[in-house]
Amino acid sequence: MPIRRLSLAAALAVAVLAGLYAAYWFHVAGEVRKGLEHWAEDRRAQGWTVAWESMEPQGFPLRVGLALAAPELAVPGGVAWRGQALALSARPHDLTRVTLSAPGRHRLSGPAGGAEFSAGELLLDLDLDRAGRIELATLKGSALASGSTAVATLAASWDPLGVAAPAHDTPTARFSAAAGSIRLPEGLGAVLGRDAALIAIDGHVRGPLPPSPAASDLLAWSAAGGVIELEHLEVDWEPVAVEADGTLALDGAGQPLAALSARVRGFGALMDRLAEARVLDAGTAAAARMVLSLMARPDAQGRPAVPVPLTVQDGGVWMGPARIGSVPPLNWSAASGMTIR
């Protein structure tokens, strides 16, 4: 076969294959769009708010996805979110691994209140089973800011364990979250400064998972004995470092309950800072430093740490018998009628 005819045949074959792939890609994109619309319709029938201003296909040729402008999602009596934009994408041949990207401005509301923030990067990766249920969710963010507060890096994960018919004390999901290089709000840095290096948690949920994040389902989960086991809490806020573990739950009124065993390092430097800020006089700070030194015990790495029992109950934060602060109430009724616009 002459070279010219061979080249023409090869070009024709490539064109045919490209056309077939393009047709396949647009078919998959259409199915993804239908799937999202059906999912939204099902949630609206359950009382959710699911909306967007526009939706366009994107990602050709290597990925298939949708770009949504002004996406909006609200769970009845639970969390509500509105973003500037949202992009969903997956490989055309594997729709069980989905990436959601939502940089830009956000508005988040819930029983604990609301906040506006911006994100340089906000990525959510979902591993789904064939029925569309989440097998693993991982979140990654960077350059987050809300008013005077900023977070350089954010990472979180949610891992439903898929336990069939779990008992009330069976672990049913694992979670973790970590924020790095945090600029705390004004007013929190009078003694230690506004820059914390790390705040991190990990643990698991005990008891059957609620069927949805709606307020009624969360409260029913709590009433049935649902508890969060906090396996590790770490705060690195120089010169102080805190590690803790314990349990979190809701009381009969849907308000926070916590019982934590904490270990505090850097107590000597903390007393110095309190004296410098004139929160304590020099004599009191010196006496407190001596008492805390006597209370200190080596931690797992041999560093001196003061054991401190912490509880949250009836809206207060308690260190042993002393009330040292308060927590804002969760307003479930206000969450039921909140708006995110």
- Residues 88, 49, 141, CA angle at the centre, nearest 5°? 40
Q: Judge whether 248 and 258 are in contact, CB under 8 Å.
A: yes
Residue 208, Cα to own-chain centre: how many angstroms? Answer: 20
Q: 5 pLDDT band (50/70/90 cuts)? A: low
The stretches of 151-299 forming alpha helices (DSSP H) are 215-223, 267-276, 282-295
Average pLDDT over residues 314-333: 82
Question: H/E element holding 232?
Answer: strand 227-237
Enumerate the domain spans of the chain: 1-147, 199-340
Q: Judge whether 206 and 227 are in contact, CB under 8 Å.
A: yes
Asked if the model's pLDDT at residue 267 lies above 60, the reply is yes
62 DSSP 8-state letter: T
Rg (CA), the chain: 26
Q: 215 pLDDT band (50/70/90 cuts)? A: confident
Asked if the model's pLDDT at residue 320 lies above 90, the reply is no
22 DSSP 8-state letter: H
Segment 280-306, tens digit of pLDDT: 888 888 888 888 888 889 888 888 999
Segment 106-155, tens digit of pLDDT: 999 888 888 999 999 999 999 999 888 899 999 999 999 999 999 999 99
102-121 core/surface letters (b: 16 or more CB in 10 A; e: else): bbeebbbbbbeeeeebebee
Segment 7-49, tens digit of pLDDT: 666 677 777 787 888 888 999 999 999 999 999 999 999 999 9
Q: 336 pLDDT band (50/70/90 cuts)? A: very low
The amino acid sitting at 67 is A
Residue 185 has a pLDDT of 86
CB-side exposure of 309: number of CA atoms within 13 Å?
A: 6
Segment 228-262, tens digit of pLDDT: 999 999 999 999 999 999 999 999 889 999 999 99
Please enumerate in sequence order all residues whose Cβ is within 8 A of that of 321, keeping only pairs 6 or more positions apart, or say none.
Answer: none
CA 330 vs CA 2, 76, 81, 112, 113: distances in Å:
79, 15, 17, 5, 8
The stretches of 225-341 forming alpha helices (DSSP H) are 267-276, 282-295, 332-336
Average pLDDT over residues 65-77: 94
Q: Judge whether 316 and 325 are in contact, CB under 8 Å.
A: yes
Residue 69 has a pLDDT of 98
Residue 7 has a pLDDT of 67
C-alpha span between 154 and 156 (Å, rounded): 7
Asked if the model's pLDDT at residue 339 lies above 50, the reply is no
Segment 79-91, tens digit of pLDDT: 899 999 999 999 9
Residue 104 has a pLDDT of 97
C-alpha span between 176 and 72 (Å, rounded): 25
261 DSSP 8-state letter: E
Segment 159-209, tens digit of pLDDT: 999 888 888 889 999 999 999 999 988 877 777 889 999 999 999 999 899
